[in-house]
Amino acid sequence: MTNQVYIDGSLVPSEEASVSVFDHGLLYGDGVFEGIRVYGGNVFLLAEHVDRLYQSAQAIRLEIPLDRQQMIDAVGETVRANQIDDGYVRLVVTRGSGTLGLDIRKTANPVVIIIADTITLYPAELYENGMPLVTASTIRNHPGALNPRIKSLNYLNNILAKIEGTDAGFVEALMLNHKGEVAECTGDNVFIITDGLVRTPPTESGILEGLTRNSVISLAREAGYEVRETALVRHDIYTAQECFLTGTAAEVIAVVSLDGRTIGNGSPGPITQDLMARFRQLTRE
């Protein structure tokens, strides 16, 4: 079946979906997006993702041509049209076409694009055995230059760090902030566990406030674990008993080493496994 893409109010075959070469989303990465998971035909945390999309758009003065309910309905329509049971939605809003140049006053007609498809981010064996990480030399964008809570179409910062990781033979890389603190990975948030205490960097560390991150924090607290959002450095990860990542596509996945230092006993720890199971239960049941 040909994939159907929602663009400008209509579902069209993927090979017919297009935007203008003068669209500022293409020319300058000027736009916002969300990645959303689908479980059992249900779009996970859809309202929260749509709210964050509109917050990102407001922060960059981008007026989305649909209201929130229309956007929610359009996502549902696209998922159903593609018969997605377990999959992924990419929701994109571009600035629209304009002249060559940065002036947003010379752009018009922002474009809404919704893609629904299947996705596999990491191999199954990494979920069973955990993944190794390496620290990238590319730091996270300085929050004074670009607020990392804006999920913009310009992901070059993350892409450069990802290149470093894959060149070194790792599927994911850790990024530090301008102060040398732990920020996040190229596409996932970071958690560590020591003596039963779960810690993760706060938004002030220059992270994207992941919705899966927030969901896992809630699950952990409901399970009786203490969770603190606090600044971390690499030493904290090196000496942690457990470490895991969260993300829309990645879900929850254990980390077993960083920069060649084994974390804990080198396998997914008990609290990590418990939270992985709780997240699976939340999303599948």
Indicate whether 1 pLDDT > 70. Answer: no
Nearest to 244 by CA among 163, 126, 87, 81: 126
Tens of pLDDT along 15-50?
A: 999 999 999 999 999 999 999 999 999 999 999 999
Do residues 239 and 195 lie in contact, with contact meaning Cβ atoms separated by under 8 Å?
no
pLDDT bucket at 121, cuts 50 / 70 / 90: confident
Taking the C-alpha atoms of residue 49 and residue 26, their distance in angstroms, rounded to an integer, is 23
pLDDT at residue 284, rounded to an integer: 85
pLDDT at residue 19, rounded to an integer: 95
Q: What is the mean pLDDT of residues 4-15?
A: 95
Structure tokens at 66: 């649909």
Domain ranges, ordered by start, for the chain: 4-117, 124-284
Q: Which residues contact 94 (CB under 8 A, 6 or more apart)?
A: 19, 23, 24, 25, 26, 30, 31, 110, 111, 113, 153
pLDDT at residue 119, rounded to an integer: 85
pLDDT at residue 35, rounded to an integer: 96
Tens of pLDDT along 194-236?
A: 999 999 999 999 999 999 999 999 999 999 999 999 999 999 9
Indicate whether 146 pLDDT > 70. Answer: yes
Tell which CATH classification among 3.20.10.10, 3.40.720.10, 1.20.210.10, 3.40.980.10 matches the domain 124-284. 3.20.10.10
* Maximum pairwise Cα distance, the chain: 57
Tens of pLDDT along 82-96?
A: 999 999 999 999 999
Q: Give the other-Cβ count within 10 Å of 72's Cβ.
A: 16
Average pLDDT, the chain: 96
Do residues 181 and 233 lie in contact, with contact meaning Cβ atoms separated by under 8 Å?
yes
- Show which residues are catalytic: 151
CATH-assigned architecture of domain 4-117: 2-Layer Sandwich (3.30)
Tell me the pTM. Answer: 0.94
Indicate whether 167 pLDDT > 80. Answer: yes
